[in-house]
Structure 1
Amino acid sequence: MSRRTLSLAVAALVAVGLSGCTSNEPTKDSSSGSGKLAVSSTTDKCELSTKEAPAGNLVFNVTNKGTKVTEFYLLGEDGLRIVGEVENIAPGLSRDLVVRAPAGKYFTACKPGMVGKGIRSDFTVTKSDANLEPTGDDKVLADNASTQYGSYVKDQTEQLLTQTTTFVGLYKSGKDDEARKLYADARMHWERVEPVAESFGDLDPKMDLREADLEPGQKWTGWHRIEKDLWPPKSGYTKLTPTERTTIADQLLKDTKTLYTRTRTAKYPTDKISNGSKELMDEVATGKVTGEEEKWSHTDLWDFQANVDGARIGFEGVRPIVKKKNAALDSSIATKFTALQKLLDKHKKGTGFKLYNELTPAEIKELSTGVNALSEPLSKLTAAVTL
C-alpha cells in the first residue's frame, strides 16, 4: 500500500547495482531461466529496457534516478491486480522485483512519491517454451509451502471476518469503548495477510486506505475511516451520524466477506509467498515503525507485530527451499527475525503493546534499525526461491 513519507527504515536499505541491461531485449540467465530487465524511475518517467519479455521468472531491477522515494508495480491486465511490487526505493538506490509471470497483458507502474496511480505503461509477456515449474523434491517442497500458506490465509481471513462482524456491530450500536478495545486485535488478522488482499487490487484501497493517501474526489471508507471516528481529533472534526456509521461499517463488512470468499480458492505459488513476506516488511518500514498507519488510535505496534507474523509465516513456508539453495541466506533471515521479535517484545504491555506515542525517539530508532537489518536479506528471498 502506498505511503507518502519516507520512513527511517528506508535510509538504511542496502543498494544493489543496476543490472546494466541496455538492449531492447531482457538478458537471459541460462542457469536460472530468468529474464532481467532494467527500470529507471524519475520524477516524471518510468523507463524499461524492454516492454516485452518471455514467460517465466522476470527480474525487474528498479533504479531510482529521481528526487522522490518511489515504488514499482507489475499489474494485471485489469490494472488493479498486483502481480508484484517493490516499495521504498530511495533516490539513488536500486531494488529488485522478482516475479514468475505467465504469458499475457500487463501494466508496469512507477510511483514517484508513492502516491496516485503512477506512471503506467503496457507490458507484454509472450509465450515461452521454458518450463520453470519445480520437479521432484523441489516440487514437493513448493507444493507443501503453497498448501501451508493457503491454510494460514484461510484461517486468518476467517478470524478477520468473525472479529470484523463483532466490531462493526459494536460501532453501529454506538458502543465506542467496546469497539475501541477490539479494533487493534481485529486488525491484526488483516495485517498478517494484507499482500493477499492487495493482490486482488480493488479491496485494499476500500478497506485500508489512510486519509493522507486519498486522491482528489476519492471516497474514504474502511478501517481508518472508522478509526478516526472512534478516536476523533480534539477540534475541527464532526463525528459521523448513525446513518453514516452504518454505511461505512456495512461497507467494511461487505468487503471483508469478499476477501474471505476469494481466499477460499486462491493459489499461492512460492514467489507470491516470498514476495508477500518482503511486502509485509515494507509495510512495517513505511507505516508501523513511523507511526503513520494508526494516526488516531496509535495502535501501530499491534500492526507491526502482525506484519512480522505474516512475513515470518511466509518465510517459514518456503524455508526448506531456501535452506537447500542458499543456507547462508536462510540463516541470516532466521537470525534477524529472532532479533527483531526481541526488540518488539520489549514494548509489550499486558496482552497488547504500548501505544506508539508512548515510545521514545531512541526506542523508535532501535526498532527501525531492526527492520532495516531484516529487510536487506529478506529482499533476496524470492530470488533464492525461484531462480
Structure 2
Amino acid sequence: MKKLLAPAALLAIGALSLTGCTDNTASADAAGDGAITVNASDDACTVSTNTAPGGTLKFNVKNEGSKVTEFYLLAEDGLRIVGEVENIGPGVSRDLVVIAPEGKYFAACKPGMVGDGIRSEFTVTAAKDGAAVSADRAALQKTAVDQYAAYVKDQSEQLLRGTKEFAAAFAAGDEAKAKKLYPEVRMHWERIEPVAESFGDLDPILDAREADLEKGDEFTGWHRAEKDLWAPEGYKKMSQKERQEIADGMVENTEELNTRAQKLEFTPDKLANGAKELLDEVATGKVTGEEETFSHTDLWDFQANLEGAKIAYEDLAPLLDGTEDELNKQLKENFASLQKQLDAYRVGEGFKFYNELSKDEVQELAAGVDALSEPLSRLTAAVVK
C-alpha cells in the first residue's frame, strides 16, 4: 500500500501548497528527447513547462534533493492517479510515460514519499495532427485494455466476496478461519493494487499500515484486523463490538471499490505503468517484510503482485511483436525466473512466513525483483509508440 493521500489530506485537497512549484513555458524538449523535465528537491517541484499537446507524454524526473521522492500526474480532481513513478533516490532520474488526453491535470512531487506533496497545475492541449495511433495498433491496444478491464472486474468481485466471508469470521471471533482467509483474500487486492490505490479516498481506509498513519488518522481496514488476529505482546484485543465495526467498514468500502472498478476505463500506458507499480510494491514492501507486520504473510502479497504485473504484461505483449522482440523475450524470461524463485518458498497452498526467511534468501528475492524491474520500466514507452 502506498499512502498517496491520507483521509485528512483529502479534505484539504484544494488547499495543497504550491510552495516551491515553478511552472513556465520553456521547451518540453529540455531533456533532448521530447521529455518534460522535472527537477525535484526536498522543498520544490520544478516542471519545465505547464502545458503539452495531448497524446504520449514523457516526464524525466530528477531528484536533486536529499530524500527519496515520487512524481505523479493527477487528474483534475486531484485524486485519480493518471501515472506515477516512485522510489526516486537522491541523484537518480526516472521517466514517467503516459497517454494523456486534452484536459487539466496536476503535476506533483512527494519528497520523502509522505504527506500531501508539492503540486502545480498542468494543462494538456489538443493532440497534434498526425498523432493518432495506427488502426492496426489501435486494435491491439483496445484488445489489451479490454482484457485487462475484464480481469480487474473479476478480481474486484472476488475481493468483495472474500472480504464478506473474512469480515463475518472476524466479527464472530472465529480467528482460525479469519487467519486462513486473511492472506488468501488479500491476494485479490494485491493483484490489482494500483487500481485500488487510484481511488485515493478508499486505499488508506482499507489498506493503511499502522506505521503509515499520521497524527489524527484512524487505523482501520485489513491491517487493523491483522493486528488483532496476530496480536503483538502487550496488545489489548478488540471487543466484539469493535471487531464488528471494523468488519462492517471493510465490507462497505470494498463494495464501493467494486462499484467504481466496474466502471473504470484503461489505456495501454496505465496497464504498463500499473505492472511496474506492482513490482515497485514488491520491492518497497513485500520483499522487505514491511507490509504484513503482524501476520508475516508478505509472500502471498508478493505472489499476487507478481501475478497482476504479469497479466498486464501478457495483455500488452502482442504490441511488442515485431517491434520489441528482445524486450518481450527478456520480460518473459525474467517473469518466469522470479516466479521460480518464489515457488521455492511454497508450503502447501501457501508460502513460508516472511520471518522464516534468512537474510540471504531475502537478498536473492530482491535481486530477482531488480532484474525484472529494469526491462519492465521500458514497457510503457514500447507499447504507446
How many residues in Structure 1 have an aligned counterpart in Structure 2?
A: 366
For residue 101 of structure 1, what is the aligned residue in structure 2?
A: 100
- For 2:286, which of 279, 285, 288 is the aligned residue? 288
- Superposition deviation, residue 256 in structure 1: 1.0
Q: Deviations over 1:275-316 (max 9, x none)?
A: 110100010000000000000000000000000000000000
State the one-letter code of the partner of 2:350.
Answer: G
- Superposition deviation, residue 2 in structure 1: 3.1
State the one-letter code of the partner of 1:221.
Answer: T
> Any gaps of 5 or more consecutive residues in structure 2?
5-23
For residue 39 of structure 1, what is the aligned residue in structure 2?
A: 38
Q: Deviations over 1:87-119 (max 9, x none)?
A: 111111111111111122211211111111111
For residue 187 of structure 1, what is the aligned residue in structure 2?
A: 186
- What CA distance in whole angstroms lies between the structure 1 residues aligned with 2:31 and 2:215? 44
For residue 128 of structure 1, what is the aligned residue in structure 2?
A: 127
For residue 14 of structure 1, what is the aligned residue in structure 2?
A: none
- What CA distance in whole angstroms lies between the structure 2 residues aligned with 1:161 and 1:252? 9
Distance 1:29 1:113, change over 3 A: closer
Summarize the alignment of residues 133-152 of structure 1 with structure 2, pairs less than 5 Å apart: 133-152=132-151
- Superposition deviation, residue 61 in structure 1: 0.7
- Superposition deviation, residue 130 in structure 1: 4.1
- For 2:251, which of 231, 250, 253 is the aligned residue? 253
State the one-letter code of the partner of 1:372.
Answer: D
Given that 1:161 and 1:257 are in contact with CA atoms closer than 8 Å, whether structure 2 keeps it comes out as: yes
State the one-letter code of the partner of 1:362.
Answer: D
For residue 73 of structure 2, what is the aligned residue in structure 1?
A: 74
Q: Which secondary structure does the structure 1 equivalent of 2:167 belong to?
A: helix
- Aligned-residue sequence identity (percent) comes to 56
Given that 2:342 and 2:365 are in contact with CA atoms closer than 8 Å, whether structure 1 keeps it comes out as: yes
- What CA distance in whole angstroms lies between the structure 2 residues aligned with 1:287 and 1:329? 26
Distance 1:279 1:233, change over 3 A: same
For residue 339 of structure 1, what is the aligned residue in structure 2?
A: 337
309-318 vs 72-81, greater mean Cα deviation:
72-81
For residue 362 of structure 2, what is the aligned residue in structure 1?
A: 364
- What CA distance in whole angstroms lies between the structure 2 residues aligned with 1:149 and 1:130? 29
- For 2:379, which of 375, 381, 387 is the aligned residue? 381
The TM-score normalised by the length of structure 1 is 0.91
> Any gaps of 5 or more consecutive residues in structure 1?
5-21
Distance 1:346 1:142, change over 3 A: same
Q: Which secondary structure does the structure 1 equivalent of 2:320 belong to?
A: helix
For residue 27 of structure 1, what is the aligned residue in structure 2?
A: 29
Q: Does 1:239 align with 2:234?
A: no
For residue 321 of structure 2, what is the aligned residue in structure 1?
A: 323
Q: Which secondary structure does the structure 1 equivalent of 2:322 belong to?
A: helix
- What CA distance in whole angstroms lies between the structure 2 residues aligned with 1:169 and 1:2? 27
- Superposition deviation, residue 204 in structure 1: 1.3
Distance 1:63 1:262, change over 3 A: same
Distance 1:329 1:203, change over 3 A: same
State the one-letter code of the partner of 1:215.
Answer: E
- What CA distance in whole angstroms lies between the structure 2 residues aligned with 1:25 and 1:217? 43
- Superposition deviation, residue 41 in structure 1: 1.2
For residue 158 of structure 2, what is the aligned residue in structure 1?
A: 159
